[in-house]
Amino acid sequence: MRAFRLAYDGRPFSGFQRQPSVPTVEDSLFDALDSLDVFNRDTDSKPSGYAAAGRTDAGVSALRQTVGFECPSWCTPRALNSELPTSVRAWASADVQSGFHATHDALQRTYTYYLYGPELDMNRLNTAAEILSGKHDFHNFTSDDDGTTRKLSITLEFDDPFITARITADGFPRSLIRRLMSALRGVGSESMTIETLTGLLNTVPQTGPDGIPTASPEPLILTRVTYPDATFRIDNRAINSLKSVFTHRYQRCLTQARVAEHIVSKSGSDQN
Question: Does 111 belong to an annotated binding site?
Answer: yes
| Cα–Cα nearest to 56, from 114, 104, 6 | 6
pLDDT of 64 > 60? The answer is: yes
pLDDT in tens, 221-261: 999 999 998 999 999 999 999 999 999 999 999 999 999 99
β partners of residue 134: 152
57 is annotated as an active-site residue: yes
pLDDT in tens, 156-165: 999 999 999 9
Confidence of residue 39 (pLDDT cuts 50, 70, 90): very high
Q: How far apart, in whole angstroms, are the C-alpha atoms of residue 51 and residue 210?
A: 37
Q: How far apart, in whole angstroms, are the C-alpha atoms of residue 90 and residue 84?
A: 9
Residue 40 neighbours by CB distance under 10 Å: 10
β partners of residue 111: 167, 222
With beta carbons less than 8 A apart as the criterion, state whether 185 and 124 touch. Answer: no
Strands (E), the chain: 2-8, 51-52, 61-69, 88-95, 108-116, 134-137, 149-159, 162-169, 220-226, 233-234
pLDDT of 155 > 60? The answer is: yes
pLDDT of 271 > 90? The answer is: no
The confidence score (pLDDT) of residue 145 equals 87
The confidence score (pLDDT) of residue 81 equals 98
pTM of the model: 0.93
* Stretch 29-33: mean pLDDT: 97
Confidence of residue 210 (pLDDT cuts 50, 70, 90): low
pLDDT of 35 > 80? The answer is: yes
The confidence score (pLDDT) of residue 156 equals 98
Which residues of the chain are in CATH 3.30.70.660 domains? 108-222
Q: What angle do CA 224, 15, 90 make, to 5 degrees?
A: 50
Q: How many CA atoms lie within 13 A of 47 on its CB side?
A: 27
Q: DSSP assignment, residue 210?
A: G
Q: How far apart, in whole angstroms, are the C-alpha atoms of residue 110 and residue 230?
A: 17
pLDDT in tens, 179-200: 999 999 999 999 999 999 999 9
The confidence score (pLDDT) of residue 272 equals 58
β partners of residue 13: none
pLDDT in tens, 101-150: 999 999 999 999 999 999 999 999 999 999 999 999 999 999 888 999 99
The confidence score (pLDDT) of residue 270 equals 67
Confidence of residue 205 (pLDDT cuts 50, 70, 90): confident
* C-alpha distances in Å from residue 238, one per residue of 79, 232, 254: 9, 13, 24
Percent of the residues in the chain that have a pLDDT greater than 90, as a whole number: 90
| Cα–Cα nearest to 62, from 28, 34, 32, 94 | 28
Task: Exactly one of 9, 27, 57, 105 is catalytic; name it.
Answer: 57
Q: What is the mean pLDDT of the chain?
A: 94
* SS3 category, 168: strand
* C-alpha distances in Å from residue 166, one per residue of 11, 161, 179, 223: 20, 16, 14, 9
Which residues of the chain are in CATH 3.30.70.580 domains? 2-106+227-246
With beta carbons less than 8 A apart as the criterion, state whether 28 and 88 touch. Answer: yes
* C-alpha distances in Å from residue 206, one per residue of 41, 125, 189: 43, 21, 21
For 108-222, the fitting CATH number among 3.40.50.2300, 2.60.40.10, 3.40.47.10, 3.30.70.660 is: 3.30.70.660
Give the CATH number of domain 2-106+227-246: 3.30.70.580
